[in-house]
A = this chain, B = another copy of it.
Amino acid sequence: MEKPSQDTPWIRLVTPHISQPSLKDNTADIDRLIRGLRKRLDVNGVTVAFSQVNDLARSLKEHHYDVCALVYEDGGAWQVADLFPIGDHPSIYGLAVDLGTSTVVVRLVELQEGETKDETTFLNPQIQLGPDILSRIHFAAQDGGLAQLQNLLLNRLNQEIEELIKRHDLTSPLIAGMAVAGNTTMTHLFLGLDPYGICREPYIPIINRPGLLKAGDLGLGINKEAPVLVFPNVGSYFGGDLISGILASGMTHQREIAFLVDVGTNAEVIIGNQDWLMGCAGAAGPALEGGVASMGMMAGPGVIDKVVIDPETLQFRVRTIEGGPPVGICGSGLIDLVAQLFLAGMIDLRGKFVRAKCGERLIEEEGIPHLVVVSAEESGTGKALTLSQPDIDALIRSKAAMYTILTTIANTVGIPLNSIERFYVAGTFGSYIDPASAITIGMIPDLPLEAYMPLGNTSLKGAVMGLVSARAREEAFRIRDQVTYLELNVNQEFMNLFSAAKFLPHTDRTLFPSVK
């Protein structure tokens, strides 16, 4: 008899010992199956959903009671999801999903060993109905809008799942579970829940803890009875993707106080350790992601991700992804560029172009100063790639917002910002940011560079953990309950901090001793 350890998978394929029916043992089919599973799992709570009774009984008889059972644990009881003939020795799989507003990532995982088998990434097709969270919430309020948003996503997701199934020569019943981490709005849209309250004071979602659903109830193209773990949220602006990210960071197992920061349109910040967690989210604007600048674009071939300016010659060296001629700049490249411009004296501490230094690179378009970063001859588009004064201003507002949020949350818990020992940067985008450049522009505190650790897609990593481990799944809900959400009321103090942070790197240079 196997004692379930805390780390046992919560989705399992087990082989119960089911005795053959006889006149001496007239226990009914379903009760016989439950009895066998109780013995095998050494637990009392084994349940079968009524909707499955006929199918499972048929399968039991068809395979002469020689079956293995797909089971999953929910609220302390094991739920029977499916039966397979014992001779097939099947492996079961799960899908971890990072449900982003822009990008969705799906990872295929073998469930017994927890091994990653494949991964696929696609644009969230809801973009065609609304580019951002707010526009989708508005679209959902239209007649049939919510269903349309949900279906777009589910259909696309199902296409990708079908592809994965084909590619690995599987069948949909073998996809036995799913874990989904997304922000609160994406989660509501995925579940077909009205997101109306999310963007209106007092910002109340429909649900914080969706818990386990059935794949069939959502129309997902995997085993109909497979459990779908939806990561819980703390509120409208603190979603399951962050809970998943905290889980993945491991910060809740450490004594040191750490920051976990997801840099994006929203600056999402968590501070804490094994004993406590505080989180907040505030609008940073899309500038940090390169989304505002006219030359800004998402990372891809030909996109500038690193810039170096020689302080003597003022020559620009740019690195592009895959090395081709430059076509635009991504967020990390933009941060580099502005940091280098500042260090070279080509912009001043307010971020304004210094004409004397910029020289011929500075041009005017429609009366607005632009700096030529890549000339038309060198560019991959045939046109010069330029950075305008408003582009810089937007970036500075965004970095100031980020720094102010970090300062505010650190002040709230009474921890000096510069004493933080670990600074985890979440998100694929975050991984590309050069911390030195981010410090130079005063976006993040002036910590030793080794304090900064990019973690990649923590939302996806946490989803995988929740999918394969009972302990991790439990921890996700514990994390949710532990997070104190700091409401960033934009008061006078916040505005003062924000104003002081709107300089490069800051009005208070003592905060950034390393920037020279």
CA–CA, A288 and B21, complex, Å: 33
CA–CA, A487 and B23, complex, Å: 8
A209: Cβ under 8 A from any B Cβ: yes
CA–CA, A201 and B230, complex, Å: 46
* B204 A29 Cβ-Cβ under 8 A: yes
Residue of B whose beta carbon sits closest to that of A23: B202
* B29 A205 Cβ-Cβ under 8 A: yes
* B217 A27 Cβ-Cβ under 8 A: no
With A31-B209, A209-B31 as contacts: A54 and B192 at CB distance below 8 Å? yes
CB-defined contacts of A30 to chain B, threshold 8 Å: 206-208
A497: Cβ under 8 A from any B Cβ: no
CA–CA, A152 and B140, complex, Å: 42
With A29-B206, A207-B30, A208-B31 as contacts: A213 and B21 at CB distance below 8 Å? no
A485: Cβ under 8 A from any B Cβ: yes
Residue of B whose beta carbon sits closest to that of A201: B23
CB-defined contacts of A191 to chain B, threshold 8 Å: 50, 53
- The residue from B32, B54, B204 contacting A194, defined by CB atoms under 8 A apart: B54
CA–CA, A485 and B25, complex, Å: 10
Copies in the complex: 2
Residue of A27, A29, A233 most packed against chain B (CB within 10 A) = A29
A210: Cβ under 8 A from any B Cβ: yes
- The residue from B61, B203, B217 contacting A26, defined by CB atoms under 8 A apart: B203
CA–CA, A29 and B45, complex, Å: 30
* B210 A26 Cβ-Cβ under 8 A: no
| B interface footprint on A365-391 (CB within 8 Å = 1, 0 otherwise) | 000000000000000000000000000
Nearest chain B CB to A454 CB, angstrom units: 30
CA–CA, A192 and B213, complex, Å: 25
CB-defined contacts of A39 to chain B, threshold 8 Å: none
A283: Cβ under 8 A from any B Cβ: no
Scan residues 29-83 of chain A and give those whose CB is less than 8 A from a CB of chain B: 29-32, 45, 47, 50-51, 53-54, 57-58, 61, 75, 77
CA–CA, A45 and B21, complex, Å: 36
* A22 B202 Cβ-Cβ under 8 A: yes
Nearest chain B CB to A64 CB, angstrom units: 13
* B23 A207 Cβ-Cβ under 8 A: no
CA–CA, A75 and B79, complex, Å: 13
* B207 A53 Cβ-Cβ under 8 A: yes
A236: Cβ under 8 A from any B Cβ: yes
Scan residues 211-247 of chain A and give those whose CB is less than 8 A from a CB of chain B: 211, 213, 217, 233, 235-236
Nearest chain B CB to A52 CB, angstrom units: 11
Residue of B whose beta carbon sits closest to that of A45: B75
* B206 A57 Cβ-Cβ under 8 A: yes
Scan residues 347-361 of chain A and give those whose CB is less than 8 A from a CB of chain B: none
CA–CA, A456 and B50, complex, Å: 32
A28: Cβ under 8 A from any B Cβ: yes
- The residue from B192, B208, B487 contacting A27, defined by CB atoms under 8 A apart: B208
CA–CA, A389 and B296, complex, Å: 104
CB-defined contacts of A235 to chain B, threshold 8 Å: 26, 28
CB-defined contacts of A54 to chain B, threshold 8 Å: 192-194, 206
* A204 B28 Cβ-Cβ under 8 A: yes
A250: Cβ under 8 A from any B Cβ: no
- The residue from B25, B28, B77, B205 contacting A206, defined by CB atoms under 8 A apart: B28
With A50-B217, A53-B206 as contacts: A236 and B26 at CB distance below 8 Å? yes
CB-defined contacts of A193 to chain B, threshold 8 Å: 53-54, 57
* B21 A202 Cβ-Cβ under 8 A: yes
CA–CA, A77 and B236, complex, Å: 28
Scan residues 414-465 of chain A and give those whose CB is less than 8 A from a CB of chain B: none
A residues contacting B by CB (< 8 A) are 21-32, 45, 47, 50-51, 53-54, 57-58, 61, 75, 77, 191-194, 197, 201-211, 213, 217, 233, 235-236, 485, 487, 489
Contacts A29-B197, A50-B213 aside, 8 further interface pairs with beta carbons under 8 A come to A23-B487, A26-B202, A28-B235, A29-B207, A32-B204, A50-B211, A57-B206, A57-B207
The 5 A-B pairs of least Cβ separation, nearest first, read A31-B208, A28-B208, A28-B205, A26-B235, A30-B207
Q: 14 A-B pairs, CB-CB below 8 angstroms?
A: A21-B204, A23-B203, A23-B487, A27-B204, A28-B208, A28-B233, A30-B206, A30-B208, A31-B209, A47-B75, A50-B210, A54-B192, A57-B193, A57-B206
